[in-house]
Homo-oligomer: A and B are copies of this chain.
Amino acid sequence: MSVKARRRMTAQMDRAARVCARQGAQLTPLRRHVLGLILEVGAPLTAYQLLDRLKLTHKGAAPPTIYRALDFLMEQHLVHKIERLNAFVPCVEAGHRHPAQFLICCQCGVVSEIENRAAANALEHAAEQEGFRPRNTVVEIEGVCAACFRPS
């Protein structure tokens, strides 16, 4: 892991701590550790992949351990679940509830979160035209990322 990446990770962790403090939520060592695993890998990880990593340092971790931590982190808007992959990624704009939009490359597996207001607005409009009140919007776009399309 590069110095740069480590610095970014620390910044994200600090941010997470502030977010939780603001909400009166407890970012316990365990939850912090799980968030750390998600941040350091930088790729979508399934609950059981996280569990395996957690077990290395946290003997006795079991499925509920990881799922509870993930539930907490999702409630605090620190991580997202990618439904198509049953995998979890850090939120790029941690701490705010916002419509989730993901680009999922089916060649290299990279998932990137985008925040496109125009698209979010269009979707909200579409829902309202049906008399529907959106609460939680998820967009998952599978395709080929720029890097894979032009393997320069």
A22 sits at the interface (CB 8 A) = no
Q: Which of A83-142 contact B (CB under 8 A)?
A: 83-84, 101, 103, 105-106, 112, 114, 116, 118-119, 121-123, 125-127, 129-142
With a cutoff of 8 Å between Cβ atoms, the chain B residues found around residue A84 in the complex are 83, 138
Interface-facing stretch out of A10-18, A26-34, A143-151: A143-151
Bound CA–CA A133/B106 (angstroms): 10
Contact of A118 among B114, B125, B131, B137 (CB under 8 A): B125
Instruction: Count this chain's copies in the assembly.
Output: 2
Contact of A139 among B137, B142, B145 (CB under 8 A): B137
Bound CA–CA A97/B116 (angstroms): 24
Task: Identify 14 new A-B residue pairs, CB closer than 8 A, beyond the known A118-B125, A133-B149.
Answer: A101-B123, A103-B127, A112-B130, A116-B122, A119-B123, A122-B122, A132-B141, A132-B143, A132-B145, A134-B142, A135-B143, A135-B144, A136-B141, A138-B139
25 CB contacts below 8 A, A to B, read A83-B83, A83-B84, A103-B132, A112-B130, A114-B126, A116-B123, A118-B126, A119-B125, A119-B126, A122-B122, A123-B141, A127-B143, A131-B149, A132-B144, A132-B145, A132-B146, A133-B149, A135-B142, A135-B143, A136-B142, A137-B142, A138-B139, A138-B140, A138-B142, A139-B139
